[in-house]
Amino acid sequence: MDLVTPGIGLIFWQTVTFLIVLFLLSKFAWKPITNALRERETSIESALRMADQAKLEMQALKADNEKLLQEARIERDRILREASQAGNALLEEARTRATEEGTRMIENAREAIVNEKKAALTEVKNLAANLSIEIAERILKHELKDSAAQQALVNDYIKEVNLN
């Protein structure tokens, strides 16, 4: 069993060596190691904070983008509605103008028809009057070929006319 149980001298020297190493580590290495660990912890925390902040900023930007998209859709709908209304107004105005122009053209045509009718009636009256005069002239020429008939006609006219 000697091999399994350590001797007192070995335990003493291992304890002394351990304490020296512990002292040296605490004097020279412990503070830089803890400082490095603190710095590492601080940098990780700051990276996490920055990541959270970036995440919040991304959410805010996403919300802003959604808001801008919504506003753009509303603006697009308004522009389309205005364009549709303007097109309808132009169409209605064109219909109104066409109706007015058609009505005016119909009225002008009616006036032209009335004027042509009056002109035709006047021409027919003039033609009838000319024909009547020609017929009367021919009848009178035929009736009044001899001078006795002419004298009788003049006497009849004189009798009908009363001179006061």
Burial of 18 (0-12, 13-18, 19+ CB in 10 A): exposed
Determine the Cα–Cα distance for residues 125 and 131; give it in Å rounded to an integer: 10
pLDDT (mean) for 68-81: 95
Using an 8 Å Cβ cutoff, are 147 and 153 in contact?
no
SS3 3: coil
Domain ranges of the chain: 11-160
Determine the Cα–Cα distance for residues 85 and 103; give it in Å rounded to an integer: 26
Determine the Cα–Cα distance for residues 104 and 102; give it in Å rounded to an integer: 5
Determine the Cα–Cα distance for residues 124 and 122; give it in Å rounded to an integer: 5
Q: What is the pLDDT of residues 121-156, one digit of tens each?
A: 999 998 888 888 888 888 777 777 777 877 887 788
pTM equals: 0.41
